[in-house]
Amino acid sequence: MFWLSHHHADEYNRTYVLAGVRVCARCLGTYPVLAAVFLGLFALKAPLRWEWDVPVVLALTLPALVDWAVGRFRPASGSNALRTLTGVLLGVGLGRSLYVHVQRPLPAVLLAQALLVTGVAVPVILATYRRPRPE
């Protein structure tokens, strides 16, 4: 089922098998944590402005980006435990930026996060786009 694992067969080492279904290791860390942080911030009525939002959210996002980028260049590198951990950190960062965004659209924290992701992802994708896939 592709919606639970966006990996091709040659990348199944980046997934867990749960109840017979492949699930992306990083996404397994990201999405449940994102939802918990997002809902938790609402429950706590967290402030919409925090002096450290941008640097903290970027610091939480960066490990997943670095791990993903390294994996694009060296597909056999890393481990699912590391992918899940970086996904958890990413989920915290995304949960915070989404919490602010739904109340005040396009806040600085979300824009900075989007610029970081784009600034890393676009060059990595372009550099690895034509890499042949194993058969």
Span 53-77, pLDDT tens digits: 999 999 999 999 999 999 999 988 8
pLDDT digits (tens, 9 = 90+) for 79-113: 999 999 999 999 999 999 999 999 999 999 999 99
DSSP output for 51-86: TTHHHHHHHHHHHHHHHHHHHHH-TT-S-HHHHHHH
- Evaluate whether residue 116 is within a structural domain: yes
pLDDT at site 130: 76
Mean pLDDT (the chain) is 92
**Cα 134 from Cα 19, distance rounded (Å):** 27
Res 78 pLDDT > 60: yes
Q: The pTM is what?
A: 0.90
Q: What are 125's two structure tokens?
A: 């994708």
In a domain, 50, yes or no: yes
87, 25 in Cβ contact below 8 A?
yes
Range of the domain at 71: 26-128
Determine contact, residues 102/47, Cβ cutoff 8 Å. no
Give pLDDT, residue 14: 92
Show the tokens assigned to 83.
């992918």
Query: In this model, does residue 123 exceed pLDDT 80?
Result: yes
Residue 44, both tokens: 């706590």
Q: Is residue 1 part of a domain?
A: no
Closest CA to 116 of 97, 95, 129, 88: 97
Q: Quick check: is 69 in a domain? A: yes
pLDDT higher than threshold 70 for residue 4:
no
pLDDT at position 8: 81
Q: Is residue 75 part of a domain?
A: yes
90 with 30: CB under 8 angstroms? yes
Q: Does residue 9 form part of some domain?
A: no
Whether 42 is covered by a domain: the verdict is yes
Domain count, the chain: 1
